[in-house]
Amino acid sequence: MRVGPFAPVSRELRRGGTLARVVDASVRFRSVRTPLRFQHIRGLLALLMLAPTLLHIGWHEPILPPTVLWAIQLGMLGAYTVLFALDVHRVRAMPATHRTDLVSILRPEFIAIALSLLFCWSWIGLAIMSAPLALIFAVRSFLRLAQSRIPSGLIFVGSFVVLTIAGTALLMLPAAAPKGAPIGVLDAAFTITSAVSQTGLVVRPTGVVVDTAGAPIAGFTRLGQIIILVWIQVGALGVLVFGALVASLVGSGFGLRATQTLAEGTEQGWEGQLSAQRLVTFVILATHIIELIGAVFIYFTWPKEWAGMPHDFASVGDRAYHAVFMSVSAFCNAGFSTTTDSMASLRTHVMPHAIIFPLIIFGSIGYAVLENVWRVLVAKARRRRTEGGVLVRLSLHSKLVMTSALIVYLLGVVIIMIGEAVQTDEPWRLIVLDAHFMSINRTTGFNTIDVNAMGGLSRLALIFLMFVGAAPGSVASGVKLIVVSVLALTVWGTIRGREQTTAFGRTIPEDIVRKCAALAIACLLVVLGSTAGLVLTEENNTALSPSLEVLLFESTSAFGNTGLSMGITDKLTVAGKINIIITMFVGRVGVFATLAALASVGARRRPRIEYPGERVSIY
């Protein structure tokens, strides 16, 4: 069916259309032919409206009086409202079909303006309610870029670069760090890169460090911690997923090119099984419901006092804040903690093993698996085997991810237990607890035991576990469970003399096997290259004198976005820190960008001829 340029997305959503059909029916707000004349000026005003807020909260002492900042922000809101009214007046002169769709697109802006005017009497209310205007403009600009002819991989990498630069600038605000302990550009960039890539490697404590008199002397203030927390959340969902999710809420459509960028860039692997509505709804609900439930459990299981307790832990609000921070960090597999020693002082407490543990699993298993399992459970509860005429079952992707995750976890537990039992003097109770937590901790930076206190075999197991990482389409990184499982199945099939790779009664296509092999080799080269760089830059570092094992551990942790360290991160040279920043960045976006680029090139440059085959010797 031919769809007009302004056909509403909701019409196709109600029909249960797939993502491709929704794309064909999406609104063309992003087009340069849009009749809204002042949209770019409004976008600039929306961004400028953030400046008074930053000037007020970003310095320990206000630069300008709050009333002056409030008046400036109110004036810009008035100008924005006038320009919006002029564009609405132009829309009213359009044909009825176009006018209806554009009014629905402009409705979020109208609501944001109305709320801003409603709370404009309060400086805090105006500052909070004006932020969605900037968000709407940023998302629309991103979607316009995503549907352009720029390669998807470049857009994805560029999105993370912009996000990192913005976060670095915010983290360098004086009020983000305690007085007398400002953060430099390199350390701010390191911290934000670690946050947006869900790594957890830090060059300074996340929580505030106080002296004997209770005065803050290091770490980050509450403002700095909130900036880190927001960047963890945005980075976990992925820039492109986040943009698409917010776009569906603010009324912007995303076209065919934007959707291709979303699918390729985030490697979600939905394979057309989910409609855009289901994708948006599930990701938003799953993320925030799991984080909320986790925060509630953490809040009620906090010990009254323990060695690693944050200094600002007295009030109910403080305890709730730290519970939310810990829950988001755990689900996003970030490993950032506002406690003073991560989980070390909670080594035998119930929280790491019964609450943080499942949060890590839910975050690392992947949204595609979570959604598939949820649909199967709902179908069984309703005693329905089909949905829309399609059999509801666990997909091969879900079976491979869950099976490989269990095998890798058990393998890690066994090896770590053997290493700790043979090479340390720890009691068996602690060995079992440490092996249980550290094995699943391969994707986060939490730790219940100092890595340096573990045996060499246990650290070798951690290097392998960190390299494997999590599932595709999850908030964590690494070479990915699917890649490892497909290669393992290929090796097993080759040993048995089979020409195809099979699993659970299904044949895995040859192109998937080849991509997995290429991906594994590429990831291995990145880790080795990063380690080689550290060997060169840290050779004369008198503060470290690290061994090859320590440098390999650091590089693998950075690439796998794990965050575990043997205590050298804050002692690295400038070149070493830049190396780790690049490694963390590549670990988070390099694989996605590479796959997107390969997909684009492969679609445009299909071979027209086939060469004759010839066998080579491999023994």
Q: What is the pLDDT of residue 21?
A: 39
Mean pLDDT of 29-58: 76
Out of 19-23, 178-182, 591-595, give the one with best mean pLDDT: 178-182
Q: Evaluate whether residue 525 is within a structural domain.
A: no
Q: Which long-range contacts (CB under 8 A, 24 or more apart) does 47-52 make?
A: 47/134, 47/137, 47/138, 48/76, 49/73, 49/76, 49/77, 49/80, 49/130, 49/133, 49/134, 50/130, 50/131, 50/134, 52/127
What is the average pLDDT value for the chain, to the nearest integer? 81
Q: Evaluate whether residue 457 is within a structural domain.
A: no
Mean pLDDT of 52-80: 89
Q: Evaluate whether residue 74 is within a structural domain.
A: yes
State both tokens at 108: 């979020």
Q: What is the pLDDT of residue 129?
A: 82
Label residue 355 by pLDDT band (50, 70, 90): very high
Q: Does residue 57 register a pLDDT over 80?
A: yes
Q: Evaluate whether residue 452 is within a structural domain.
A: no
* Range of the structural domain that residue 46 is part of: 31-146
Side-chain-facing half-sphere of 591: CA atoms under 13 Å: 33
Q: Evaluate whether residue 57 is within a structural domain.
A: yes
Label residue 608 by pLDDT band (50, 70, 90): low
CA distance 157 to 153: 6
Distances in Å between the alpha carbon of 526 and those of 90, 119, 556? 54, 51, 9
Q: Does residue 271 register a pLDDT over 50?
A: no
Q: What is the pLDDT of residue 277?
A: 53
Q: Evaluate whether residue 530 is within a structural domain.
A: no
Of the given ranges (99-108, 229-238, 454-463), which has the lowest mean pLDDT? 99-108
CA distance 586 to 594: 10
Q: Does residue 244 register a pLDDT over 70?
A: no
Is the distance from CB of 534 to CB of 579 less than 8 angstroms? Answer: yes
Span 587-604, pLDDT tens digits = 887 665 655 554 554 455
Q: What is the pLDDT of residue 299?
A: 95
Query: Which stretches of 159-307 are assigned E, i.e. beta strand?
Result: 209-210, 216-218
Q: Evaluate whether residue 86 is within a structural domain.
A: yes
> Taking CA 378 as the corner, what is the angle to CA 374 and CA 384, rounded to the nearest 5 degrees?
135
Q: Does residue 2 register a pLDDT over 80?
A: no
Side-chain-facing half-sphere of 55: CA atoms under 13 Å: 16
CA distance 146 to 339: 39
Q: What is the pLDDT of residue 456?
A: 92
Span 102-135, pLDDT tens digits = 676 777 888 888 888 888 888 888 888 888 888 8
Buried b (16+ CB within 10 A) or exposed e, 357-367: bbbbbbbbbbb
Mean pLDDT of 128-145: 80
Q: What is the pLDDT of residue 261?
A: 56
Span 464-493, pLDDT tens digits = 999 998 888 788 888 889 999 999 999 999
In terms of DSSP bridges, do strands 209-210 and 216-218 run parallel, antiparallel, or are they unpaired? antiparallel
Q: Evaluate whether residue 93 is within a structural domain.
A: yes
State both tokens at 130: 């004006």
Q: Does residue 172 register a pLDDT over 60?
A: yes
Higher-confidence position of 18 and 409 = 409
Is the distance from CB of 181 to CB of 218 less than 8 angstroms? Answer: yes
Higher-confidence position of 398 and 180 = 398
Q: What is the pLDDT of residue 422?
A: 92
Of the given ranges (9-13, 151-155, 194-198, 318-322), which has the lowest mean pLDDT? 9-13
Q: Does residue 4 register a pLDDT over 80?
A: no
CA distance 562 to 467: 9
Full DSSP string of 385-431:
SEETTEE----HHHHHHHHHHHHHHHHHHHHHHHHHHHH----HHHH
Q: What is the pLDDT of residue 379?
A: 87
Label residue 153 by pLDDT band (50, 70, 90): low
Mean pLDDT of 575-597: 79
Is the distance from CB of 15 to CB of 276 less than 8 angstroms? Answer: no
CA distance 47 to 237: 23
Distances in Å between the alpha carbon of 401 and those of 199, 333, 467, 492, 593? 21, 17, 16, 18, 22
CA distance 238 to 262: 9
CA distance 598 to 184: 37
CA distance 569 to 564: 10
In terms of DSSP bridges, do strands 209-210 and 501-503 run parallel, antiparallel, or are they unpaired? unpaired
Q: What is the pLDDT of residue 243?
A: 56
> Taking CA 289 as the corner, what is the angle to CA 283 and CA 292, rounded to the nearest 5 degrees?
135
Q: What is the pLDDT of residue 29?
A: 40
Tracing tokens 């020693």 back to the chain, one arrives at 341
Q: Does residue 399 register a pLDDT over 70?
A: yes
The conformation of residue 251, written as its DSSP 8-state character, comes to T
Tracing tokens 């595609």 back to the chain, one arrives at 368
> Taking CA 381 as the corner, what is the angle to CA 378 and CA 383, rounded to the nearest 5 degrees?
105
Is the distance from CB of 239 to CB of 335 less than 8 angstroms? Answer: no
Q: What is the pLDDT of residue 278?
A: 64
Number of domains into which the chain is organized: 1
CA distance 116 to 172: 28
